[in-house]
Structure formats: structure tokens, C-alpha cells
Structure 1
């Protein structure tokens, strides 16, 4: 039985790990730690978690916890992931991995030194829909892919204490939303893309509510990337990817959360074929992957050098748009 401890009484924890764990017989959510004991106890009572702690140190010091789920703000990912690793815990860390590439390097070094796993929670990565996109790209069915358009936008209202609207905590549209299409593209095409152009709209200093990028992958496609969390947007998200090759085109709607409804449209020789791929929730697939990695049955698809390169691209994107990497916004 793999015993999971939650760092942070975060809303995302319910769908991201509590619900998936409840469907398995080889894991249990054993404890939660929050910024104060009352908050932790309320969360534990709501979700039927046995132990609650008012400090993060208390949780990671326990010998009866195997895996830490770090859902704290990005500004706390490095500190507490590293401490958990050094206490012998595996860590599933929410995206974005860190505040910048330097923090990411320190986190990966700690994982290597501890011999424990540090996996980044890009949950889409583990779903069969993305596996199908990978298959189509790598099989050559689309031919040489020359143009890609990607977007993740949804209205995120600013509320008191909202970390997404607080740059020193790791907020911003690129950190919260744009990281997804950037990760799609890096996973599909490999290498480090050249940033040809970048721009952001900032309603307050250093806080991007929308972000646009134009990237060129080495011997690969020209990619347009957009993300936004502005107030004028719909509360229904747009997470779309369009790949144009010389033999065919592929459009994917809702690549972030395909279990909530998705569509793939493959067009070849002027004929369009729409279809779907069966699967559980992205979070179910993510937890299954993490457990398989802990058991030594497979290798992690995220974390390690991938996480460092992802944060470096985000850092470089902020710089290209005339903004500070989040690590310098503290």
C-alpha cells in the first residue's frame, strides 16, 4: 500500500488525487498538511483523511508516508519538494514545476541525490488522447508538419488571495495556462525552440493576463502559442491544438482535460474524420503512471531534464516579452 500525504489543502487535490486514489486498492490518502491546523483538520474531515497537520514539516518527517503530492503555490514548490525528497519521499509536484529554471535544477538534483522520484503533474501527458496525437505525429501520417497553432484560455476571476494573479507566488497566464501548450509542443517536437516573438498584456506590473509566442523548432514547425485568463473570456476553456502537415491536418479540442469531452479531427485528401479516444480521467491515468514508476514498472514521462527545459523556456519567454522570470518577482 502506497501512502500519500498532501502538502496543502488545495481545491485541486480532490479531482487531481483524492478521487483517483479512491478508485484504487493499492494507495491511500493518509494525511494532509496545511498552513494551519484548523484548515488541515477541516480538509481532512471533508475528505475522510486520517491525519491532519498544521505544518508541512510534520507531514514530510513521518515515516508512514511514501508519496507527497505538492499542490502548494509555485513559489513553494522547490522548498517543500526538496525537503520531502531529502526525507525519503517520492514527490508528485503540481505544474508549473518551479519559479524558474534554477529552482528546477535544484529540485532535480535533490531527486537524484535522494534516489526518489520527482514527477511533474502535467496530467494530460498520461491520457490516451495525447498518446494518439504522438502516434500521428511520429508515424508520419501527417507528413512534414510545418505549422502548429496552440491555445489554452479560460476566464480566471481575480479573487482575494488568488495566486494566479500574484506574480511573486508564481502567477500569470503563461505560468498557469500557457505552460500546457508549451509542454505539448516540446513533447511532440523535442529540442529547444527559438523564440521568434513574444508579447504579453499585463493589467498590473509583471502580471500577464494574456501571452502570445511564436516559436521555431529546430528542423521542425513554426508554432503559434497563445494563452489568456482575462475577465472577458468564457468560463468554458479553450484548450486546442492544430497541426498542419503536407499530407494531412489534425485538430484536437480539449487536450488538457479530454475526459470532460474532446474531439480529434483528422483531415487527409480533403476528407475529415472526427473521432474520440476512450480513457479514464487524466488524473486517473496520472496516478496510475506515478504508481507504476514507484513500483519500477516504467520510467517517468515528466520531471528531470524535461522539467528543467520547460522552466527554461518559460523563463526565456518572459524575458522575450520584456518581463521578469517568476523567480525574480519574489
Structure 2
């Protein structure tokens, strides 16, 4: 049986986030797309070989030929359309950030629970073997007790003024789109939920944060510093440094390991460097989604995790 997806919106992330992985994943097809601008949807469908174009989001959700919906809409739209899709009997792969706030996330979680369907928060990095190996380094105690973690993600600036990340009302800002990754990296590496002890932002136009730095304290006593940046002078950087009582762990490019990465572990007077497959993190994510749909397998970024993340 083929798991047919419908896409809500002709978003830039959709080819990388779903269409290309679907071509590499047996039993998955992208069947339809709908957008507010039908002409844009038709162009997108032609370029990416999506067979069916719908006039709006609702028509995608009501399409009886699809079983799952991918939602790469602005964050402000996630809660509404996720709940509509679940209520219509569709599994949902929702782009991050999951929702505008924890209250919306809890409503989405409740909708998933009522429906008994799969709802995944699309933090694709979590499904790549690189991150699984990093988690195992921490869990094994190889570097001892974690004392401090630093996680930083910056994108190349400047971000265009008409980019949705520059609009506060749409869920814009660096924390919601970029800084959410360092927060997630820290949470999933330490497998604890932190408290924020301090935060400071560089704010641009219309209340949009262009840089965010926050200090976190975990129940174990570990401290973390997370940084997200999209200022005009920023260049791409995705890096995690972990200091333990018996060693250190460094992960270069945990975000998209398929474009090059490295895991460096120093402990007991020895150092090793590991690399893993360059198969796309998005493909690993889609495979995990499909296993959850077909076999009921658990997922790392389920609605409970999404609520904690928010």
C-alpha cells in the first residue's frame, strides 16, 4: 500500500522536506498540493511532478486519495490546519516550530490523541545516525557527567524583508525558526527538560528577534547556552560542544549532516573522529514517520515532545 501525501502550501522547504525524500522511500508518494495562489501551486506541481493541484488547503485535506498531510505553512497556521487534517482522518507531518505557543501545541496533541493518528514535529536532524550516536555517547557515560553544553545555529544573512521569518504575526523571529534547533539539540542530548535562567535578544523591525541567546539549567545540574542568529552579518554555523566530567563531545553540523559533518569525542586521553552516512536527515525522518503509520513505531518528536519543546 502506498502512503499518499498532500502538501499545504508551495513552500520552499517542501522539496527538501518531503518531495525528494519521498522519491527515495518505497511506498510513499506525493499526490497533491494546494495553495492560496492556485497559479503558484500549478507551477510548483509542474516543476516537482506533483500530479494533483487543489484550489485550497481544505480540498487537499478532503482528498480521499491521500492518507497524510505535510504542513510547511507559516507557524501561525500550524495549529489550525494540523487539527483540521487530523479531524479529517489524515496523519500529519508538521514543520517546526510546531506551534505559536505551548497552549496551541497542547491543543494539537489533544487532537492527535482523539484521532489515534500520527502527528510528528519535523525536527528531521533527530532521525539521522549522527545524532543517535551523539546521544549514545552521552548516555554511555563516555565523557562523564555533562557539565556544560553550548549549541549554536546561525543562517547566512541578511534575511529578505519579505521572508515570513521577518513577520512577527506569522511566528517569525530567530528563536521560532532557527534558535528552536539549539533548544531541541540540548533537550534531546541531555534527555531532560530545562529551565531558562536568562535570555537576551537583538530585536529588529516589528518585534522580530534577529539573535537570541539563552542560558538553560537542567535538573541534573548541567548548564547550557543556546544561540540562534539571522543578523545581516551572520554566516552559516551549526555546532554543538559538550563538556563532561571525563571528556568532551563536539558535533559539527548536526542540522543537515548530509552536507558534511563530524563527531569528535575526547575522553581518557584519546580522541576519535567519526562520520556517518550522507543519506539525508529528511529521508530518515520520512522513514520514521512511515513506520509510525504502518507499524505504530514510536517517534522521537511526537506531540509530547513538541509540547515540551514549546
Shared topology, TM-score over 0.5? yes
Question: Cα offset for 1:273?
Answer: 1.9
Residue matched to 2:233: 232
Deviations 1:29-50 (A, max 9, x none): 1000111211111111111111
Q: TM-score, normalised to structure 1's length? A: 0.91
Contact 1:38–1:54 (Cα < 8 Å) also in 2: no
Residue matched to 1:324: none
Residue matched to 1:210: 211
Residue pairs, 1:54-133, within 5 angstroms:
54-133=55-134
Residue matched to 1:257: 256
- Structure 1 pair 155/72, CA: closer, same or farther in 2 (3 Å)? same
Deviations 1:189-227 (A, max 9, x none): 233312111000002242100000111100231111111
Question: Cα offset for 1:174?
Answer: 0.6
Question: Cα offset for 1:279?
Answer: 4.5
Q: Match of 1:267, SS?
A: strand
User: 1:28 & 1:54 partners in 2: Cα distance?
Assistant: 20
Q: Match of 2:207, SS?
A: coil
User: 2:72 & 2:209 partners in 1: Cα distance?
Assistant: 22
Q: Match of 2:22, SS?
A: helix
User: 2:263 & 2:62 partners in 1: Cα distance?
Assistant: 46
Residue matched to 1:170: 171
Contact 2:260–2:278 (Cα < 8 Å) also in 1: no
User: 1:190 & 1:205 partners in 2: Cα distance?
Assistant: 35
Q: Match of 2:242, SS?
A: strand
- Structure 1 pair 253/55, CA: closer, same or farther in 2 (3 Å)? same
Q: Which runs of 4+ in 1 moved over 4 A?
A: none
Whether 2:185 is the aligned partner of 1:184: answer yes
Residue matched to 1:269: 268
Deviations 1:111-139 (A, max 9, x none): 11111111000000000000001100001
Residue matched to 2:284: 285
Q: Match of 1:295, SS?
A: helix
Tell me how many residue pairs correspond in the alignment.
309
User: 1:102 & 1:127 partners in 2: Cα distance?
Assistant: 29
List gaps (5 residues or longer) in structure 2.
none
List gaps (5 residues or longer) in structure 1.
312-330
Residue matched to 1:135: 136
Deviations 1:43-99 (A, max 9, x none): 111111111012101110111110100000000001111100000000000000000
Deviations 1:279-325 (A, max 9, x none): 411011001000011012511211211101111xxxxxxxxxxxxxx
User: 1:131 & 1:23 partners in 2: Cα distance?
Assistant: 21
Contact 1:81–1:107 (Cα < 8 Å) also in 2: yes
Contact 2:196–2:215 (Cα < 8 Å) also in 1: yes
Question: Cα offset for 1:160?
Answer: 4.7
Contact 2:142–2:267 (Cα < 8 Å) also in 1: no
Residue matched to 2:16: 15
User: 2:268 & 2:188 partners in 1: Cα distance?
Assistant: 27
Question: Cα offset for 1:154?
Answer: 1.5
